[in-house]
Amino acid sequence: MKLHSYAAGEWYQAAASGQRLRHAISGAEVAEISSDGLDFAAMLAYARHTGGPALRQYTFHQRALMLKALAQYLMERKDVFYALSAATGATRTDSWIDIEGGISTLFIFSSKGRREMPNANLMLDGPQEQISRNGTFTAQHIYTPITGVAVQINAFNFPCWGMLEKLAPAFLAGVPTIVKPASQTAYLAELMVRHIIESGILPLGALQLVCGNSGDLLDHMTGQDVVSFTGSAATGIKLKQTPAIVQNATRFFMEADSLNCAILGRDVLPDSAEFELYITEVVREMTVKAGQKCTAIRRVIVPAERLDAVATALSARLSAVTIGDPAQDGVRMGALAGLKQRAAVMDQVAKLAAGNEIIFGSQDINQLAVQGADAANGAFMAPLLLACNDPFNTCAHEVEAFGPVSTLIPYTNEDEAIALAALGKGSLVGSVVTADPMVARTLVVGAAPYHGRMLVLDQQGAAESTGHGSPLAHLIHGGPGRAGGSEEMGGIRGVKHYMQRTALQGSPDMLQAITGSWMQGAQRTLASKHPFQKTFDELAVGDALITAKRLITLRDITDFAELSGDKFYAHMDEAAAQRNPFFEGRVAHGYFLVSLAAGLFVWPDEGPVLANYGLDNLRFAAPVYAGDELQVQFTCKQKVKRETENYGEVRWDTTLVNQRGEVVANYDVLTLVAK
Ligand code: NAP
Q: Whose CA is nearest to atom 13 of ligand 1?
A: 235
Q: How far from the centroid of its chain's Cα atoms is residue 492's Cα?
A: 7
Residue from 317, 88, 272 nearest 188 by CA: 88
Q: Which amino acid is at 172?
A: L
Stretch 218-222: mean pLDDT, rounded? Answer: 98
**Each residue of 46-60: pLDDT tens digit?**
999 999 999 999 999
Stretch 499-510: mean pLDDT, rounded? Answer: 98
| pLDDT number for residue 263 | 98
Rounded to 5 degrees, φ, ψ at 43 are -65, -45
Atom of ligand 1 nearest to the CA of 293: 43
b/e code 86-104 from CB counts within 10 Å (16+ = b) = bbbbbbeebbebbbbbbbb
Residue from 88, 25, 96, 94 nearest 289 by CA: 94
| pLDDT number for residue 13 | 95
Atom of ligand 1 nearest to the CA of 19: 47
The answer to whether the Cα torsion of 521, 523, 528, 530 is positive or negative is negative
Q: 3-state secondary structure string, 358-426?
A: EEECCCCHHHCCCECCCCCCCCCCCCEEEECCCHHHCHHHCCCCCCCEEEEEEECCHHHHHHHHHCCCC
3-state SS class at 264: strand
Output DSSP code: residue 265: P
For domain 261-469, give the CATH number.
3.40.309.10
3-state SS class at 323: strand
Architecture per CATH, domain 524-674, reads as Roll (3.10)
Residue 662 to residues 27, 165, 461, Cα–Cα distance (Å): 78, 49, 48
Stretch 402-415: mean pLDDT, rounded? Answer: 97
- Ligand 1 pocket check for 214: Cβ under 6 Å: yes
Q: Whose CA is nearest to atom 11 of ligand 1?
A: 182
Q: How far from the centroid of its chain's Cα atoms is residue 150's Cα?
A: 17
3-state SS class at 627: coil
- Ligand 1 pocket check for 348: Cβ under 6 Å: no
Ligand 1 probe mutation, 156, 211, 299, most atoms within 8 A of CB: 156
Q: Please identify which of the residues 190, 255, 285, 649 carries the catalytic annotation.
A: 255
- Distance from Cα 156 to the centre of ligand 1, integer Å: 7
Q: Please, what is the angle between helix 92-116 and helix 60-76, to 10°?
A: 160
Residues forming beta bridges with residue 333, ordered by sequence position: 323
Contacts of 191 (CB under 8 A, 6+ apart): 80, 81, 84
Q: How far apart are CA 390 and CA 376, in angstroms?
A: 36
Residue from 429, 340, 435, 330 nearest 372 by CA: 330
Output DSSP code: residue 541: T
- Distance from Cα 229 to the centre of ligand 1, integer Å: 8
Residue from 312, 326, 322 nearest 282 by CA: 312
Confidence of residue 367 (pLDDT cuts 50, 70, 90): confident
Residue boundaries of the structural domains of the chain: 40-256+493-499, 261-469, 524-674
Residues forming beta bridges with residue 665, ordered by sequence position: 620, 656
Catalytic status, residue 255? yes
Confidence of residue 316 (pLDDT cuts 50, 70, 90): very high
- List, in sequence order, the alpha helices (H) in 602-671: none
**Each residue of 542-552: pLDDT tens digit?**
999 999 999 99
CATH 3.40.50.720 fits 40-256+493-499, yes or no: no
Confidence of residue 483 (pLDDT cuts 50, 70, 90): very high
**C-alpha torsion angle, residues 583, 588, 594, 600 (rounded to 10):** -120
Residue from 42, 39, 43, 35 nearest 15 by CA: 35
- Distance from Cα 230 to the centre of ligand 1, integer Å: 6
| pLDDT number for residue 528 | 83
Work out the number of other CB atoms within 10 angstroms of the CB of residue 509. 15
Confidence of residue 428 (pLDDT cuts 50, 70, 90): very high
**Each residue of 83-94: pLDDT tens digit?**
999 999 899 999
- Ligand 1 pocket check for 400: Cβ under 6 Å: yes
Q: Please identify which of the residues 160, 211, 294, 388 carries the catalytic annotation.
A: 294
| pLDDT number for residue 389 | 86
Q: Whose CA is nearest to atom 16 of ligand 1?
A: 235
Ligand 1 probe mutation, 220, 232, 255, most atoms within 8 A of CB: 232
Confidence of residue 355 (pLDDT cuts 50, 70, 90): confident
Largest CA distance in the chain: 92
Weakest mean pLDDT among 367-381, 508-522, 650-664: 367-381
**Each residue of 168-190: pLDDT tens digit?**
999 999 999 999 999 999 999 99
Q: How far apart are CA 174 and CA 202, in angstroms?
A: 11
Residue from 236, 194, 234, 229 nearest 211 by CA: 194
- Provide the mean pLDDT of the chain: 96
Confidence of residue 16 (pLDDT cuts 50, 70, 90): confident
Q: Which amino acid is at 122?
A: L
Output DSSP code: residue 449: G
Q: Which amino acid is at 580?
A: N
Residues in the chain: 675
| pLDDT number for residue 1 | 87
| The pLDDT of residue 373 is above 90 | no
Confidence of residue 376 (pLDDT cuts 50, 70, 90): confident
**Each residue of 551-586: pLDDT tens digit?**
999 999 999 999 999 999 999 999 999 999 999 999
Confidence of residue 195 (pLDDT cuts 50, 70, 90): very high
Atom of ligand 1 nearest to the CA of 180: 9
Atom of ligand 1 nearest to the CA of 477: 40
| pLDDT number for residue 517 | 96
- Ligand 1 pocket check for 19: Cβ under 6 Å: no
| The pLDDT of residue 527 is above 90 | no
Q: What is the DSSP string of 584-605?
A: SS-B--HHHHHHHHHHHH---S
Catalytic status, residue 395? no
Output DSSP code: residue 2: B
- Ligand 1 pocket check for 153: Cβ under 6 Å: yes
**Each residue of 246-288: pLDDT tens digit?**
999 999 999 998 999 999 999 999 999 999 999 999 999 999 9
Instruction: Please answer whether residues 209 and 154 qualify as being in contact, where contact means their C-beta atoms are separated by less than 8 angstroms.
Output: no
| pTM to 2 decimal places | 0.93
Residue from 496, 516, 492, 491 nearest 504 by CA: 516
- List, in sequence order, the alpha helices (H) in 216-272: 233-240, 243-247
Instruction: Please answer whether residues 206 and 200 qualify as being in contact, where contact means their C-beta atoms are separated by less than 8 angstroms.
Output: no
Domains 261-469 and 524-674 are alike in CATH topology: no
Residue from 433, 421, 440 nearest 479 by CA: 421
For β-strands 150-153 and 177-180, DSSP reports them as parallel
